[in-house]
Structure 1
Amino acid sequence: MTLLGPADVRQLAERLGIRPTKQFGQNFVHDPNTVRRIVRAAELAPDDVVLEVGPGLGSLTLALLEHGNPVCAVEIDPPLAEALPETVGKYAPDHADRLTVVAGDALRVDLGGFRPTALVANLPYNVAVPVVLHLLATVPTLRRGLVMVQKEVADRLTAGPGSRTYGVPSVKLAWYATARQAGRVPASVFWPVPNVESGLVGFAVHDTINPDRADTFAVVDAAFAQRRKTLRAALAGWAGGPPQAERILRAAGVDPGLRGEQLTVDDFTRIASQRRRVEASG
């Protein structure tokens, strides 16, 4: 099986009349060793069904099919979505029957009867966090994932409490899954070459997920909207005033003088739960 190299990527783009756009955050990987490394880092099981977002010209798609897993590729750019089956048919004819292409926006698309268990994708930098969180919220069959994102985003997604990069993306991903950094990717393996380095983020979805996501995420958003303020002040609007915020925080066993960046996802969950109990008790 042949993977795409630099010459293949440029020839495909030229034949399709594709000029990478900032609108779609298009930077195409042209290095076979990199896409194979991504697939290895994804730690796919033989029975995994893969969801790929933004397959572009098909570099990573071919590597995923080479691994032996069925792939559903969601592509927002119509010419690229239309061309992908042809590319796979040319470079990997023996694997073409395992590819499903869905044309559309990953933030809105209907996967129909497809039930992916793993997300593996080179995500556009400008929508990486929303896409990951949206898919975790709306695709209950997902069990693991490996995404390539801007290195700065990788740092935020995997940061722990107390880190300067810890924030809303860190907490919300931790709600769904245990995340890890899985390596760096140099800018030189992309066309066009981006002006930033990329990083790989792997995650394993928790076996059980607390159903009170909306309440917890409301606390997280409020705490980090004014991250330099203490929780007593930052959560005042959410709680109905500073005294009520302090009452809820103390009931949850959280010091009102702390800041949001010092709390774990479990702390935020307890705060959301205690608000309901405090309000119920009057």
Structure 2
Amino acid sequence: MSDGGGERPAASQPGLLGPADVRALAERLGVRPTKQLGQNFVIDPNTIRRIVRAAGVRSDDVVVEVGPGLGSLTLGLLGAARRVVAVEIDPVLAGALPQTVAERFPEALSGPGDGADPAASPDGSSAAAYGDPALPRFALVQADAMRITELPGPPPTALVANLPYNVAVPVLLHMLEQFPSLERVLVMVQAEVADRLAAEPGGRVYGVPSVKARWYASVRRAGSIGKNVFWPAPHVESGLVALERRQPPTTRASRKEVFAVVDAAFAQRRKTLRAALAGWAGSAPRAEQILRRAGVDPAARGEALTVDQYAAIAEAANADAADPGREPGLDGS
């Protein structure tokens, strides 16, 4: 294992899974991709290489991958990262993944274990955190990613995943919340979701995912992915979204309080904030008072505000609750 940065040289990477490999593996396992689990397996090695490059995976990274499926991306990540921890809910796929890694990347399983972490409970909560350099470079946790609170081994530094499209945003936000060690994220999601995540304030598709993702990170579109690189081919185009961890807004309000304002503002996104936040604040006049205290125009709409402004509104609501009779100053304080 290299201690320096950068990708591992291509020569050290094993053969990735191609279309025939993926289909043969699925047939051997009796697996048919299901819409219910959002399963669309990547069958194009060049797309895998592109994702790993776009993610900027370094040789000292500990990468967590959610929904590895048959292992196409897992193998690409093992060619670049120090360690890969795969989180898979499907018991059939979870049972087969270590064998796929063993066939294509046997050295990743060397060390005190067979690559599947024996301490991981079904929800991942009992997996011990440890930093033994002799750990295998691959670990598997069979769990629902929405219930994961710990991962085996050193804290993850990157999340790289082809997320199931039906739960992509909740999984992304959950992982960012649970693992503050994540410095970088690259996820493949439905193109429409990618646009929403990366949208800037004032944009037509700017909404709840756009704001909440920016609580944790800066967000940008990192490319588009066609339908034909998947089996089965989805009905929608896909997109790559890159996130880089940043400090949350400076505020005395909690994340939960800020997110409650965001949810309320976009529940009726065509209304002014004075009207949209009336239920959250208790009344339209009180919503206006809070907005003015936060320095936000009550006639603005939710899609015009940054995450910092939402944080200011939540903080102003706390101040208003503490001193409801105080009139806001000219500066909105």
Q: Which residue in the other structure is 1:103 paired with?
A: 142
For residue 260 of structure 1, the aligned residue among 302, 310, 322 is 302
Structure 1 unpaired stretches of 5+: none
Give the partner amino acid of 1:195.
Answer: H
For the 8 Å contact 2:258–2:310, the answer to whether it is kept is yes
Identity among equivalent positions (%) equals: 63
For the 8 Å contact 1:66–1:95, the answer to whether it is kept is no
CA RMSD, Structure 1 to Structure 2 (Å): 1.2
Aligned mates of 1:198, 1:182 — CA distance in 2 = 11
For the 8 Å contact 2:249–2:308, the answer to whether it is kept is no
Structure 2 unpaired stretches of 5+: 1-13, 110-135, 325-333
For the 8 Å contact 1:159–1:170, the answer to whether it is kept is yes
Q: What is the TM-score of this pair, normalised by structure 2?
A: 0.83
For residue 229 of structure 1, the aligned residue among 255, 271, 277 is 271
Aligned mates of 1:215, 1:225 — CA distance in 2 = 16
The secondary structure found in structure 2 opposite 1:67 is coil
Aligned mates of 2:247, 2:303 — CA distance in 1 = 26
Give the partner amino acid of 1:50.
Answer: V
Q: How does 1:1-282 map to 2 (within 5 A)?
A: 1-96=14-109, 97-114=136-153, 115-207=155-247, 210=250, 212-282=254-324
Give the partner amino acid of 2:22.
Answer: V
Aligned mates of 1:68, 1:272 — CA distance in 2 = 40
Give the partner amino acid of 2:89.
Answer: I
Q: Deviations over 1:17-48 (max 9, x none)?
A: 00001111000001110011000000123321
Q: Deviations over 1:188-234 (max 9, x none)?
A: 00000111110000000114565720111010000000000000000
For the 8 Å contact 2:197–2:213, the answer to whether it is kept is yes
Aligned mates of 2:197, 2:165 — CA distance in 1 = 13
Aligned mates of 2:70, 2:93 — CA distance in 1 = 6
Aligned mates of 2:249, 2:271 — CA distance in 1 = 29
Aligned mates of 2:148, 2:226 — CA distance in 1 = 31
Which one scores higher on RCO, CA 8 angstroms, separation ≥ 6? Answer: 1
Q: What is the TM-score of this pair, normalised by structure 1?
A: 0.97
1:95, distance to aligned residue in structure 2 (A): 2.5
Give the partner amino acid of 2:208.
Answer: V
1:236, distance to aligned residue in structure 2 (A): 0.6
Aligned mates of 1:120, 1:135 — CA distance in 2 = 11
The change in CA–CA distance for 1:78 and 1:206 in structure 2 (over 3 A counts) is same
Aligned mates of 1:45, 1:208 — CA distance in 2 = 25
Q: How many corresponding residue pairs? A: 282
